[in-house]
Amino acid sequence: MIDTSKRYQKMRDNDPNDLGNYIQWHIEQNKIKKKSVSDYLNIQPNTLNQYFKQKSFQFSILWRISLAVKHNFLMQLGEELGIAYETKAEKELKAQLLEKEAEIEKLKTQVEVYKEISAARG
């Protein structure tokens, strides 16, 4: 018998949990009112409840829900993906850290020189 199901719809072992469930869990755990989310999205509460039943939905909907609940689902889902990614802010912080570490090393060297001068006089 020929398999006529769409390949992209076949579940794989490493597929994520249903996105609707994921969003619903976050909303309930953080005691966010569904009415306020549906109002922000300009949709009926029933439509929001339908989202909770879906495996996935459009990127723009996830984006808007993130804004509505003030939570970055995109970043959270990205972390669960397990593929390393460095944000611009992280890159800037790493650069600052390297700069500060270099400054600390320079100051340590200066302190050592002052200690040696002090010991030679002493």
Considering the domain architecture, whether residues 70 and 91 belong to the same structural domain is answered as no
Per-residue pLDDT of the chain (122 residues; tens, 9 = 90+): 666 667 766 777 766 678 999 999 999 999 999 999 999 999 999 999 999 999 888 999 999 999 999 999 998 888 888 888 888 999 999 999 999 999 999 999 999 999 999 888 86
Quote the CA–CA distance of 65 and 115 in Å, as a whole number.
Answer: 59
Note whether residue 6 is domain-resident.
no
pLDDT of 4 reads 65
Distance CA 104, CA 110 (A): 10
Closest CA to 87 of 74, 101, 68: 74
Distance (Å, whole) CA 8 – CA 85: 25
| Contact in structure between 68 and 37 (CB atoms under 8 Å) | yes
Domain presence at residue 54:
yes
Q: How far apart are CA 51 and CA 113, in angstroms?
A: 66
pLDDT of residue 3: 65
The per-residue pLDDT for 73 is 92
**Alpha-carbon span 33 to 76, nearest angstrom:** 21
In a domain, 9, yes or no: no
Cα torsion through 103, 108, 112, 115, rounded to 10: 100
Give pLDDT, residue 60: 94
Scan for tokens 């700069």, then name that residue: 99
pLDDT of residue 2: 66
Q: Is 72 left (phi over 0), alpha (psi -120 to 50) or beta?
A: beta
Residue numbers of the domain that contains 116: 86-122
Answer yes or no: is 8 within a domain: no
Number of domains in the chain: 2
Determine contact, residues 51/61, Cβ cutoff 8 Å: yes
